[in-house]
């Protein structure tokens, strides 16, 4: 096999949650350009339709599935829909997530539960369903959880995201634990931790006021762009990472290295 063939994903089926916009759409485009047939899941039909159209305009086979991942009962139906329309899932990207901003002492229960349901519960329940339906029976699979640099540290002055930071830290250890449990089945589980990307829809309102501070202290002197996660997701999804599991790759321009 040639070196470049290690990165090809021709004919594989990838499911990307939250794939209709922002980082999720960037990840879906990257996987599709590498040869994957793409399923994207999101709550809003209009955004799904627009994302499907974009993917197809690039020659990518793509389907959209409306799904609210905060409802555990919706997850088996999502997986079944993808299997019926594209075939068994080879690559699962747990990207869907949310953020809530409030000082810890005032943080509402509703906000805490919402963040945990989407950022921790849903990735586990979906990974469990995909593993037992598609990956364990066939002896292979790639799961990539989209964490955040917020899961590696606390918050800076003026940022109040206790639930988000906690959820992303939990997601990283879920990644390690599933990698340990499912390695014998040939399943690789890894995580990407983006830094601040302007395309993160919800993060614009919560973190917009610190954007220039982050840019200034980032060694590469810029925030994440539209192409910056594509290489990393293809690495984790492809044969190029055949001996890599339980790992966290930070994509933040070096900001967290300081």
The answer to the question of residue 213 being in a domain is yes
CATH number of the domain within which 216 lies: 3.40.50.720
The answer to the question of residue 257 being in a domain is no
Q: What is the per-residue pLDDT across 183-235, written as a single tens digit (0 to 9) for each?
A: 999 999 999 999 999 865 444 555 566 788 888 889 999 999 999 999 999 99
DSSP 201: H
CB 15 within 8 A of CB 39: yes
The answer to the question of residue 4 being in a domain is no
The answer to the question of residue 151 being in a domain is yes
Burial of residue 18 (number of CB atoms within 10 Å: 0-12, 13-18, 19+): buried
Per-residue pLDDT, averaged over 137-150, amounts to 97
CB 152 within 8 A of CB 101: no
CB 119 within 8 A of CB 98: yes
pTM of the model: 0.95
Q: pLDDT at position 202, please?
A: 47
pLDDT at 138 over 80: yes
Q: What is the per-residue pLDDT across 70-79, written as a single tens digit (0 to 9) for each?
A: 999 999 999 9
Catalytically annotated residues: 164
If one counts the domains in the chain, the total is 1
The answer to the question of residue 1 being in a domain is no
The answer to the question of residue 147 being in a domain is yes
Domain span at 165 = 9-252
The answer to the question of residue 77 being in a domain is yes
- In whole angstroms, give the CA distance from residue 201 to residue 10: 30
Q: pLDDT at position 205, please?
A: 56
- Listed in sequence order, the residues at least 6 apart from 224 whose beta carbon sits closer than 8 Å to its beta carbon are 194, 195, 196, 197, 198, 199, 251, 252, 253
């Amino acid at each position: 096999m040639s070196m470049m063939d290690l990165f090809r994903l021709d004919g594989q089926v990838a499911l990307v949650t939250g794939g209709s916009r922002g980082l999720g759409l960037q990840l879906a485009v990257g996987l599709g350009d590498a040869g994957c047939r793409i399923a994207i899941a999101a709550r809003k039909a209009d955004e799904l339709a627009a994302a499907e159209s974009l993917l197809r305009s690039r020659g990518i086979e793509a389907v959209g599935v409306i799904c609210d991942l905060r409802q555990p009962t919706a997850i088996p139906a999502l997986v079944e829909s993808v299997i019926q329309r594209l075939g068994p899932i080879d690559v699962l990207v747990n990207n869907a997530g949310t953020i809530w901003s409030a000082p810890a002492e005032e943080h509402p229960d509703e906000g805490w539960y919402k963040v945990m349901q989407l950022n921790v519960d849903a990735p586990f329940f979906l990974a469990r369903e995909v593993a037992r339906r598609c990956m364990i029976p066939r002896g292979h699979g790639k799961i990539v959880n989209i964490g955040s640099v917020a899961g590696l540290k606390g918050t800076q002055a003026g940022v109040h995201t206790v639930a988000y930071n906690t959820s992303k830290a939990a997601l990283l250890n879920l990644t390690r634990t599933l990698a340990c449990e499912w390695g014998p089945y040939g399943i690789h589980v890894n995580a990407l931790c983006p830094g601040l990307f302007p395309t993160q829809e919800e993060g614009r309102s919560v973190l917009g006021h610190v954007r220039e501070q982050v840019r200034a202290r980032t060694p590469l002197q810029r925030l994440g762009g539209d192409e910056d996660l594509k290489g990393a997701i293809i690495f984790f999804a492809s044969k190029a990472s055949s001996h890599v599991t339980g790992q966290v790759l930070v994509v933040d321009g070096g900001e967290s290295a300081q």
